[in-house]
Structure 1
């Protein structure tokens, strides 16, 4: 705040004195005057001063400046633009006083002003401005005040103070303030306003005002009212600077201290009415002090005699405090964490010259007591001071809040100690602490005052179980085991000393000796460490770490600085049978990998390290690692570094430069494996061959990149040679390299792909990768597999993109079956495409492929990501699928019986069938499609999948024997209920449905169809239950193959057909004259009528219903032999058949011969009369039943329209 006043005086002075320097002729130049005031303020404060209103300067012996709308800028970090604002400022100066020792401002007036004082979380305050003043010598004592304001008037002003430490800002509003410094040095003041909305009034006088600074007599009378609080004080002091000769009376009163504390967001240290009196009466040289009263339920009293109030030299004082909340009172003084319990405190002090005697100082709560006694010498360094301290607590865990920990249950604690300072200022302490069965004894010195403390202490700690104590103090986990610590701890000039420091945890011991310098790169440090652990596994389990071996550990180590680095030596290091010897140095700790030394590690079994690598499968085989490391400046020379596992060995030699991107490094490695199969089995990997592997490699940095060479690489007959360079390791795909790989058989590397059968054919890969600045060019990259060849040309770019031309061809695609994983025909093939893209992007353009007579071309775009996009246009002059469409003679395995489904259309979401995160836009055109028993022409198929919408439009084709088909499918799931719309129309279609393999297409029965179906629903069952539409199928003359029925239809449908047509059992083909199928659906209720199957032997008529809500079906079949047909005695026609049940479990419910016996069919006989009444023979007696049925259907459709 002193700096605030300082800068205010500077600003006011600049406002006047700076203007005089401009000269009399510039008085009326307002712009120049404002500019000078602003620039000088900026120079001295670093802040901008803006005067946006008029400025008036009146010169004379008393010179006056008046300015309106004055703004003073805030700190840069503040959200508020102005730190101070004045609507109107008027200030005058007595010019003649500039030549005296005291500058006089006769008048200062502020109207409508606002000042905001604030601090931020970084500890910065907005009143800190300008450069820090240079250190100045101690000033000479002043004889009078350098600046005097005679008359200060403030109207309607606001002062706001805010800081992170304040729960609520302090808002001071001044309605009016009048302060006058009279000629007799008497200061009178009167003010009205508010503090945080509490009314405020101040009235009083002081005389003389400067007695606080220069000493001497002071008289005063003051009255302050804040809300309902009143403070009154009056009296005199013989010397205001020392407090000698005080005769004054002060009182403070109010109805509720709690409300006042709440208003200012202060801790609730008390509540209730308060009335305090302070009386000082001087008789002779001694002043009687009496403080009595209460602040609500907080009582504070003091009584005694002192020669002076400030720095007393003789006298005594008794002081006591009793209150309801110790923690709240402590928070008022910035101390957090004390228990919020009722408390009492008493102190009795005596003063004799520089010595203060504490006869009795006690702080009590219900379960705690702190006592301090002794004497303090107030001279510099406190020589001869001695204090005795005693602390007793019934539950010390309540006080862990002082350490930021939650309260604990630890039990009682006792502490007794002494602190003393000798004549030279050396502090010595001796203390004994007991907490339950835990003890701590400390004695030694803490260093000399006023120098920095440098403790040198002997410590002895014993605890049968320190886990609870450690957890309470640090929240750390510590084992519940006996702990003992003994030794000497010292700290001087940032050098830490440990003398015979021993730690014993349940028999496991660590001895530490030496010194550790905490600065100058630890120069002069020297630490010796010895460990003797009886069982590493047991120790690990104490700290919650499982898996360490149940083996003893012994270790001796010495560590000490060496120049800018560190020298170390580990001797007698062993963990069970593991032996460790290390001897070396790290020349510079800034390069911790630059190690100079030797190492030798021996393990009887590598699996002994499994405790440190629990997820690794380490072999049960002997392991050694040894070698030498030599460091020179920023490089490390590796010499004869050998790592050996059983009989397999790796040897490393070379130079590793740790600076300048490893420039100059050169690493050679040799690998000698007796059996790669045996080595892999040690690590749990099967399938590698039992063959030796030898390999020599060399790696060298080259500029920003790396040169590499792999030679003499062989695994059995596999030969590998690679040599190249990566110019920039930031782009590892951009490289310059040549490679040549030859395998006599590709299946020699089948061990790399377990479960994958590879061809038994020679394989080679060779070529060159050429670096071309920001890309790598693939030059003559060739792959061969037997007689099949592939070539790759193009570029790998630095941004992980690529553009490649890929070509492949071969005389026999069947040789690639094992690579592709699909049967392939023994025909020549070729593939050529331009492949461009990058990470997750693939663009196939100018794609051309052939296989036998098949030809395919087009463009495909595949983009992977949160949404995968597949776009393409495919055109095929001819596509022969007969190889995959022709049934093989090989016996197929018997399929596993599928789980019985309860519903044909399950109650599952429809949209789950639409791929999520996939967008497709494709168009496929095939001029001729060849299949095993038919051919189609002019095929066009369009597929569009976007979000929740699927369109298959168009879908059309023609038959080689004539006829055409056109259809569309649309699934729109963008709304709350997915919608389905399917249409199909065809005429004279001969696609060979229910045809036998090899059947002449000329015998296919032509089909004409008209299908229109719509539906909607969130589940498949809802969708089926809402189906509306019709199905019309008319079939002409042709042959129906029994083998084709078996291939297309289910076992039930095939059995039903042979039951209705017993001739199908003995004949390979059924000669069909015509067939009709008609069905209408309204909201899932399907009416089937008529269905006619008219063969050369008989006519079958069917009608009925299917309820897609319940999936129940009720279909009736009537079979009648053709007129004039002679039947053999072995042929029995079932005239009346009824099919019921549900779609997933249909049943022939009536068969007069009861001969239908098949798995999964429920057979039940019902009355023939019931079935007969449901059938009509109007079509059975017709010479052209299909034609009559068609006319009936067209008539019905016409009436419906």
Structure 2
């Protein structure tokens, strides 16, 4: 206090001189001596003082000095020029005490000032003044009392402090008043602003030469207060903080919203420092902790070390916190770094922190942190928010500068997860922000999702409390609002979910109640996905996900589809937005859209055959604002456009799996339209009640592009019915098929319990109009544009006969009314049985109203390789003339015939079956006639070409007496040995073969006119070439000898009898009767040389009996059939060269 006395004595002396001068010359003198006064003040303070403004003096018993623009300079080392800058100073003194050398200040006003206190470790404080001359020469008694100040006023004064080059701390005093008695009693009140917080303060104490004693301090803000009392060497204090916002600004560090505190304790100055003890109270909502109750604690601070030891309850768990900083050998100012050790211990967890703090202009903290325990979910921040994970350990390196904390080398292991990465914490904001990136080889998300609750057993008599379902659970992610997260994440594998996720990348942001994932990239079972989602707990959810190509083979495998499925869904895009606090509310009010496209999809069989070629332009699944879900699809199927529109139940009902969910489907494929209507059980996926369906199309020709086959133009067709499915069977009822006027109804049932589906039922026709079916058999249809044209009559494409091994069948087909337009045709019924790949049609019976009947049986066995087929057909009394008339084919053909067929073959295609055909065909026709000029085009053209080649003219009407023919097939080659056609003017014998292996024809037709004048003009002709377009040309004897296998039928006449005898026709058929007579002649003459003459005579006699004469039809057969010996052939050739005849093949009686 000695310096204070010197300063007071010097000021008193100066003021005394001023008073004397002022009394002489007043203010004029003051301003004239302003520089001298400034010099005197500078010498007194040891620091330059500037009086830059006007000086004024009010003379009275309490003279008042007014000075404006006053400045006191700083020492040279300070950061700014002046220690104090003051706009106005008013000093009012008591005059009489001043005459006695006593300084009594009546009033001191400091207005508009700026005082900046600075200190450094080396220079000390800028408020320490050097002793001036006056101080050196003046001797002031140490017993002098303090100057009394009746009233000290501070207005709009800026007080600041800067220590060690740091950012200055600023206190803005709005208005303050204080008084200091001569005995040292100080009383002060003030209103000031600190860090934008308004404070009210009151201080009282006693200032003596020994210091301050018996002091009391009260500070208040709007919601916080501090009370402290100094008694002796001990300070007791209490802090109550209810506003984290105000407290954060006051201490210069962020405290979470809602943080509060109530702490009390005592402190004492010790020789090496200060000690805080008897610490008690609580902290709440601090950095995610609900509450930390301090039961006992102490803090020791010395010049080089700080030690903290607190015991209490952290989230109701006994916890001990220990902390030490500095080594104590050096002061904090002297030490280059401050070692740090900290730890927290609970009953199951332990936190250890080691490292150091490096002081300086930018303090740097480097720490090593380790956290381990028995259960991650027991940590205070996570308790009750996670499922159990088991033991865990987290290690990291931490460095901090200012309010930024960085964690590097993070290695965390818990549950099935192994995480590494780096994080940065920003503590200078209202919410602690965590930024960085984490990587993991395996991330187990199971602890972050609540497990499905097991149903509890309810005791008898206890009321059952309904449990919340999935749709009632709140939609939220547990996360403290005091933390904000912004992380880049990557994981090679994600576990804990029902979906297989790999290669996950994204940016996770959590702030407040909002959770967002942006830049999301992952693979779902190998399928790439990208997009993002955002959720606000209890309020809304938005999601946008887009997939890369999805291999349909994988989808087929997941669905259990056995057919080959190739192609990719090019892109699947999902968008969802909705408001609600639960999943049920989101689905009921949200908008969901799923879109996909595919360039090319092929569905084929295991054998490589393709059955479906599909292109999808767009598929969209949508649910808007809780309305019924819709599915729309557009694309092409084998070049034909298709459109599908489906409407289902509400999305909530669909996901909840309600018991009866309606679905309607409309399908358009080109011009074909179909519809389905059904109800199904959402829980089991099974149908509730029958499924109704319908299909209709204007013509089958519209499906030509779809099938790749030139389908004919047909009447409109329609198929409708109902289907009902169960585990045992699928039943079709109310089936109705319509094509034009034709209608078929019936019921079918498909059994599902055996190794194969078993189809059973009965189909009945109300009427079948053959005109509706006629386009299927029209032969003039031209190939469709873009479709290949083949020279083969029999297709080489597989008939997919293997399909017959996939199901069994027992079907009855009844068609009681067959018509052709308005003309009745007949009736038909058939029985179809299929079992284990063996098909039997037995019988197929057709009765014609015009006369005659068809009866056939057929079988196929696809269990063998290749499949085997067999057909037996017998037609009796068939009046083809009436039938052709009623079928509107022609009215210019009439007659009747019998027909028999018994054939078998094996193969996968029609071409293979034809190439291996075995069996025979027999045709016997009776009287009839043909009007040649009205024949169908192809037949008329053939006859018109054939007759001239035989040397005959075309007849307008051909009267048919009879015809017989038998073709025997062996391994695809058919041999005709006994063709006989007789008309009123012509008899034709034919022999040859038909090779179905290459679809070629090699046949001789030998005509014999009944008019002798025409005999010399007729010639045999040869038919050869492809079956669909044979060539017709005359031939000679030598060419006929190359026909293989023709001789058998004539060398043994009994062959002809056997060939036709089993048909069972009347003896009145002249051709058959003539053939039968050959057997009688053959028995009389067995020699080859006389055989032909006998055959000729018998045939002639038989034909003459019905008014017709066949002249020596078989006379040249000896030569035609090649029965003569080699030398005879040579003789015949020589004879032909010597004396040629008009018709060397014919001889006459």
Question: Is the TM-score greater than 0.5?
Answer: no
More relative contact order, 1 or 2 (CA 8 Å, 6+ apart)? 2
TM-score w.r.t. the length of structure 2 is 0.38
